[in-house]
């Protein structure tokens, strides 16, 4: 099962190379990269590899945690008991993903307090998509279908990431994301088989989310500052633009079955390329949103900071309890 412990079954607790020079350690690391082997927390790794993993994994964790808000907003207004139970489970799953990912980041010698502080002070990024509002119940279905769908497309290759704890965490996360995507599609299908007003509500939600979802994959490859290095290190396996294209190609047919129109007049099959063409995205909007000026950035961050502050007593009580138990165990042993 999933574990945060640093030892692996069948491997010595201390990896060889403890006394090796930096050059030897670098060549051992390069050899592992060349054979596409996993890097584990006890292995030596270049500082830049460690830093970029901390950056990507912690930003991913922040996205899952902030990502609870847009749908959490609808839990008390879900249209039926069944939809409410499903949505509650989904939002809790996202919280769980954030916790696995913080734990994976902690294996890289960073403290969770520092990571959380970076989010709360606006120094760390989280996914652009969670800065858009959820105005109607159809938005909840569209998040499941498109946002979770894009997340799966991006995260399946991360199950093969070179860093073991991140790759293993992604396997379980992807399984759960699949349920999320299906529940969203199912909710939308129910609405599309409903009244004219419901169908219009779904179409209006798709119109608002389509382009921001395509931007989730990150800037075009030419503007992606991290990709060349992270792909060389086997962290990212497929580029931003290639993942975006795979997502567009997969989604067009799903939209047709659902009966919605994707809001892009430039979307058309290109037989020569064997892919759908789509219109250029508004990258100015993307940079504005990730730099803090999207429709909901301030609200999302303020809600998160308040939740953290409101939960201080729980953390303090848990620590006091742990200390009391440790004192009791010590007293018994004495
Ligand atoms: N939003 O050089 P690149 C989910 C930043 S989880 C904000 O291409 P990279 C589940 C990027 O950090 C969604 N910032 O970057 C769910 C970099 O800035 P930095 C999150 C973005 O890392 C569903 C700069 O732009 N998923 O949805 C974005 O190679 C429903 C230059 O970009 C992950 O985090 C963006 N969209 O590629 C939860 C997956 N795109 O850090 C609740 C793991 C780029 O140098 C409800 N992460 N930036 O200051 C990744 O795969 C990658 O980090 C990318 C970005 C693809 C997101």
**How would DSSP label each residue in 181-225?**
HHHHHHHHHHHHTS-HHHHHHHHHHHHHHHHHHHHTT-S-GGG-T
The bridge status of strand 275-277 relative to strand 268-270 is antiparallel
Ligand 1 nearest-atom number relative to CA 60: 34
What is the rounded CA–CA span in Å between residue 249 and residue 243? 10
- pLDDT, position 308: 97
User: Residues 240, 224: contact at Cβ < 8 Å?
Assistant: yes
- pLDDT, position 154: 97
Ligand 1 nearest-atom number relative to CA 55: 41
Q: Could you give the residue ranges of the DSSP H alpha helices within 216-294?
A: 227-232, 240-258, 283-288
Protein residue with least CA distance to atom 42, ligand 1: 67
Helix (H) / strand (E) element for 61: namely helix 47-66
Residue for token pair 């303020």: 302
- pLDDT, position 197: 98
Ligand 1 nearest-atom number relative to CA 230: 29
Q: If DSSP codes are grouped into helix, strand and coil, which group holds residue 276?
A: strand
Q: Would you list the DSSP string of 85-151?
A: HHHHHHHHHHHHHHHHHHHHHHTTS--HHHHHHHHHTT-S---GGGGS---SHHHHHHIIIIIHHHH
**Helices and strands: H and E segment counts in the chain:** 14, 2
Pocket test for ligand 1, best of 127, 131, 214 (most atoms within 8 A of CB): 127
What is the rounded CA–CA span in Å between residue 149 and residue 143? 8
User: Residues 93, 180: contact at Cβ < 8 Å?
Assistant: yes
Mean per-residue pLDDT pooled into runs of 10, the chain (334 residues): 44 56 91 94 96 98 98 97 97 97 97 97 97 98 98 97 97 95 97 98 98 98 97 96 98 98 98 98 98 97 98 96 95 89
- 101, burial (CB in 10 Å: exposed 0-12, middle 13-18, buried 19+): buried
Name 147's Cβ contacts closer than 8 Å, sequence gap at least 6. 67, 129, 209, 213, 216
Within 6 Å (CB) of ligand 1, which residues are found? 55-56, 59-60, 63-64, 67, 94, 125, 127-128, 143, 147-148, 151, 154-155, 215-219, 224-227, 230, 236, 240, 290
What is the rounded CA–CA span in Å between residue 222 and residue 238? 14
DSSP state of 193: T
- pLDDT, position 2: 40
Rg (the chain; Cα; Å): 22
- pLDDT, position 22: 86
């Amino acid at each position: 099962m999933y574990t945060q412990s640093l030892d692996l079954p069948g491997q010595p607790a201390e990896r060889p190379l403890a006394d090796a020079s930096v050059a030897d350690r670098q060549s051992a690391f390069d050899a592992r990269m060349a054979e596409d082997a996993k890097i584990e927390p006890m292995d030596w790794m270049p500082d830049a590899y460690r830093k970029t993993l901390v950056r990507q994994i912690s930003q991913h964790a922040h996205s899952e945690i902030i990502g609870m808000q847009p749908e959490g907003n609808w839990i008390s207004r879900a249209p039926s008991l069944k939809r409410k139970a499903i949505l509650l489970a989904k939002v809790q799953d996202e919280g769980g993903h954030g916790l696995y990912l913080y734990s994976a980041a902690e294996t890289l010698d960073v403290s969770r307090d520092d990571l959380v502080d970076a989010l709360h002070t606006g120094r760390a990024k989280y996914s652009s998509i969670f800065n858009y509002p959820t105005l109607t119940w159809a938005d909840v279905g569209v998040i499941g279908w498109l946002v979770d769908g894009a997340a799966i497309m991006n995260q399946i290759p991360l199950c093969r990431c070179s860093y073991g704890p991140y790759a293993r965490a992604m396997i379980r996360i992807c399984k759960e994301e699949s349920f999320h995507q299906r529940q969203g599609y199912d909710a939308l299908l129910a609405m599309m088989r409903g009244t004219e007003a419901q169908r219009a509500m779904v179409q209006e939600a798709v119109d608002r989310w389509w382009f921001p979802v395509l931007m989730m994959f990150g800037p075009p490859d030419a503007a992606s500052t991290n990709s060349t290095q992270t792909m060389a290190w086997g962290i990212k396996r497929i580029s931003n633009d290639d993942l975006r294209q795979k997502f567009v190609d997969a989604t067009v047919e799903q939209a047709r079955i659902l009966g919605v129109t994707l809001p892009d007049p430039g979307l058309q099959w290109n037989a020569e390329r064997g892919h759908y063409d789509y219109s250029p995205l508004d990258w100015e909007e993307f940079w504005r949103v990730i730099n803090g000026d999207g429709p909901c950035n301030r609200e999302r961050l303020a809600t998160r900071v308040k939740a953290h502050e409101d939960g201080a007593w729980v953390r303090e009580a848990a620590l006091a309890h742990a200390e009391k138990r440790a004192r009791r165990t010590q007293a018994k042993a004495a």
